[in-house]
Amino acid sequence: MTAVHVPAPAPKNSRAGRDLPAAISVGVGLGAVVLVGVVWFEPLFVATCTAFAVLGVWEVCRALRLSRIRVPQAPLFAAAAVMPTAAYLGGEQVLTFALVVTAVAVVVFRAFEPGEAPFRGVLAGLFVLMWVPFFISFALLLVHLPEGKFRLLVLLILVVSNDTFGYIFGVLFGKHPMAPTVSPKKSWEGMAGSVLGSAVVGMVCGVVFLGAPWWFGVILAFAVVVAATAGDLAESMVKRELGIKDMSSMLPGHGGVMDRLDSMVFGVVVAYAVSLVFLLTAA
């Protein structure tokens, strides 16, 4: 009797277009590593941010190369390896110095590399520099603020709240696309759910973890939701421009590292700015 081969069923995707069990497992695992680093062992957090920066640069450079956009990779990988530590040890000034030096290196390296459209390569390289290692390094700046560990923890909670409430409201009530040419599945109803749910979460977290007035948590939540949504749309725009679905397939259920960090890289910059303004005005 001949055995009949039955192919394994493909992972069942949700209405949001991804494999939820895999996505949740990967998200929880990454969150646990970050949480341990932030709360108990900061060198692990620095190493994690550095790994994210290096992998993110690799993903974006790879995607650009597939579209025949040649960027100088050596200075970008150097920046990814150095910038998080520079931010952690030296703060804003050292991070800014590293940004300027790397920007100059991108121009110089591209000028001496062969290939067409060097100006386009320089612009793309500067974009990668800002979007990946520079923005990611703000997580280390946030840690250095008063109650910095708790501020970063609140940011992580707000980003998760943004995704969770946006997904729930989008699936249940989503009818009006926010940016149909860039991200057809993102709806205004989902955005409203993200704002409302994250505002409540932010208010509670601001009072409990930061000892801040309730309104600070609401403002922080609104700012993070707007920034996270902008980050998500920005990455979607980049992927559509390059003609790819995901930055890579490194993280099951998410795609690539930048597919997971698209909301976070914008959110951490805004969270740092809002926290800094609040601390300066409260002093």
Q: What is the pLDDT of residues 192-201, one digit of tens each?
A: 999 999 999 9
pLDDT of residue 11: 47
Q: Of 41 and 8, which is predicted with more confidence? A: 41
Q: Of 94 and 38, which is predicted with more confidence? A: 94
For residue 200, what are the contacts with CB-CB under 8 A and spacing of at least 6? none
Cα–Cα dist 112/219, whole Å: 47
Q: Of 148 and 81, which is predicted with more confidence? A: 81
Q: Is 183 helix (H, G, I), strand (E, B) or coil?
A: strand
Q: For residue 53, is pLDDT > 70?
A: yes
| Buried-state track 65-104, b at ≥16 Cβ within 10 A, e below 16 | eeeebbbbbebbbbbbebbbbbbbeeeeebbeebbeebbe
DSSP, res 131 = I
pLDDT of residue 5: 45
Share of the chain above pLDDT 90, in %: 51
pLDDT of residue 252: 56
The number of beta carbons lying within 10 Å of the beta carbon of residue 203 is 20
- Say how far residue 184 (Cα) sits from the centre of its chain: 20
What confidence tier does 39 reach under pLDDT thresholds 50, 70, 90?
Answer: confident
Q: Of 185 and 35, which is predicted with more confidence? A: 185
What are the phi and psi torsion angles at 68 (to 5°)?
65, 30
End-to-end CA distance of the chain: 82
DSSP, res 250 = S
Q: What is the mean pLDDT of residues 15-21?
A: 54
Model confidence over 3-12: pLDDT tens digits?
A: 444 444 444 4
Q: Is 14 helix (H, G, I), strand (E, B) or coil?
A: coil
Q: For residue 41, is pLDDT > 60?
A: yes
Q: Is 162 helix (H, G, I), strand (E, B) or coil?
A: helix
For residue 283, what are the contacts with CB-CB under 8 A and spacing of at least 6? none
Mode of pairing for the β-strands spanning 177-179 and 183-187: antiparallel
pLDDT of residue 8: 44
Cβ 157 vs Cβ 228: under 8 Å: no
Share of the chain above pLDDT 70, in %: 86
What is the identity of the amino acid at 213?
Answer: P
Q: Of 202 and 261, which is predicted with more confidence? A: 202
Tokens of 279: 């601390």
Cβ 203 vs Cβ 217: under 8 Å: yes
Measuring CA to CA, which residue among 125, 98, 99, 100 is closest to residue 111?
A: 125
Cβ 158 vs Cβ 221: under 8 Å: yes
Q: What is the mean pLDDT of residues 258-263?
A: 84
